[in-house]
Amino acid sequence: MALQSNAFNRRKFIKKSSLFTFGALGTGALYAAPDLMPLNSFTQEDDFNIIGPKEGYTPQIGTLVSMMNWMRTVILSPVKDMSAADLDYVHDDNANSIGAMLMHLAATERFYQIHTFDGKSWGDWPKEDADKWTVASRLGENARKKIKGNNFDFYLNAMSEIRENTLTEFAKRDDDWLMAVDKEFPWGPTNNYCKWFHVCEHESNHNGQFKFIKKRLPA
């Protein structure tokens, strides 16, 4: 999904990311599965601030999607107009750049796709994904050296590509899958809802860091 930063705005981003699933499934798929369209759902275009069921998903998955979409727009809003130099800025020797953290968020979401959609165990990255995402996943010194020189659209496109896959996979699943408990997860018994809510709240955590760094950018 290619979005230009000068055309970026809250509603367009949410509409494009949310409606991707409909294009992937096709109109016929939606009409063939009316249970995926709760009666109390709102239109995708006008429901940015409505947390709840969404068309194309079972009720609880749709509610999760609404939270993830809301959080995604919130974290991108303060950084969408930054230059590559601003996105590369490192506040001190132990800090991460905003650019590196944006890639880190994409890496985190990709891991949870591999884990919950593909059934891979914790830390079991396919080689292609390990080569692409390990640096961003771990952040730190290696990320400070390797993740830099990119404009906002570079990070937006990487994050959007991952999110499109998430939405497509969510549309294939139901609330029973979302509530299924993994008794072997390192945190203790954890359901898929908690795992994917963590992806959402993880972005909230870095949102605070983005704002902290933005206020300390060199003049």
CATH number of the domain where residue 135 is located = 1.20.120.450
Distance from the Cα of residue 73 to its chain's centroid: 10
pLDDT in the model for residue 13: 40
Domain count, the chain: 1
**Model's pTM, two decimal places?**
0.78
Give pLDDT tens digits for 104-130.
Answer: 999 999 999 999 999 998 678 899 999
219 belongs to a structural domain = no
108 belongs to a structural domain = yes
What's the average model confidence in pLDDT over 166-189?
96
118 belongs to a structural domain = yes
Residue 22 is which amino acid?
F
48 belongs to a structural domain = yes
141 belongs to a structural domain = yes
The dihedral through the CA atoms of 164, 168, 171, 174 has a sign that is: negative
Domain hosting 94: range is: 5-214
Is residue 44 within 8 Å of residue 103, measured between CB atoms? no
139 belongs to a structural domain = yes
